[in-house]
Amino acid sequence: MPNHIAIFGANGTIGSEFTRVLSSHYPDAIIHAFSRRPQESAAKNITTHQIDYLDEAALKNAAKEVSEQAPLDLVIVATGILHTDDIMPEKSLRDLSADKFMQLYQVNTIVPALIAKYFVPILNKQQPALFAALSARVGSISDNHLGGWYSYRASKAALNMIIRNVAIETRRTNKNAIICALHPGTVDSALSEPFQKNVPEGKLFTAEFSVSQLLQVIDKLSTDDSGKIFAWDGSEIQP
């Protein structure tokens, strides 16, 4: 049972649901909910934090503050973007731009890597502890049969490599750590809204369903699964 939890992207559709469910399931746990924007919580076991994920000094200070209470048992990184008002996934090479790549890499790859830099070292070493970042099936190179979405696919593929690297390194210093990536499926949210008409029937999930499934996946993971990518249904996704 996790007693000390940190959730990043706690204001987002999936992050907020993780925060709500974990707070309810583990009322005695200490939960730190991090977000770029101000947030409030009525739950007594949730401490909210506003943070700039690209500010390494802020991340370092946050990790120090959190670790003074106790090591972390669970870290969920639910940050990420697919599109903005000015950026949509590329359909072909002619749609590529340096700005698209830089923005998506910054949010989807660099931010989780920086969070890992400061929060993986404070995972519990006395019992199993997990660091999980939300990735996507479209980040799988071997599963790419449609093409397109260059910057999003590449940023998630890069995130998957970061997860693998962190898992290998962390195994040397924390035998109880599990480092993994999770694919939540297509969740009904602002991120997926422009593309929902193409989602097969029954494959557009509520945040409640997706998080419930992911928590079941998390419960079954062991240290042998560190460095891997798992979908909402528990299946392993190949890089």
Q: Please state the pTM of the whole predicted model.
A: 0.95
41 — pLDDT class (breaks 50, 70, 90): confident
Rounded to an integer, what is the distance from CA 206 to the centroid of its chain? Answer: 17
Q: Region 39-62: what's the mean pLDDT? A: 94
Do residues 48 and 40 lie in contact, with contact meaning Cβ atoms separated by under 8 Å?
A: yes
Pairing of strands 46-50, 30-35: parallel
Q: Is the pLDDT of residue 86 over 90?
A: no
Tell me which fold the domain 4-237 belongs to: Rossmann fold (3.40.50)
- Domain spans of the chain, in order of start: 4-237
Q: pLDDT band at residue 179, thresholds of 50, 70 and 90?
A: very high
201-239: pLDDT as tens digits: 778 999 999 999 999 999 999 999 999 999 999 999 999
- pLDDT tens per residue, range 125-140: 999 999 999 999 999 9
Contact 180, 227 (CB under 8 A): yes
Contact 70, 54 (CB under 8 A): no
pLDDT the model gives residue 196: 75
pLDDT of residue 71: 98
* 115-128: pLDDT as tens digits: 999 999 999 999 99
> Any idea which residue has 């790419």 for tokens?
144
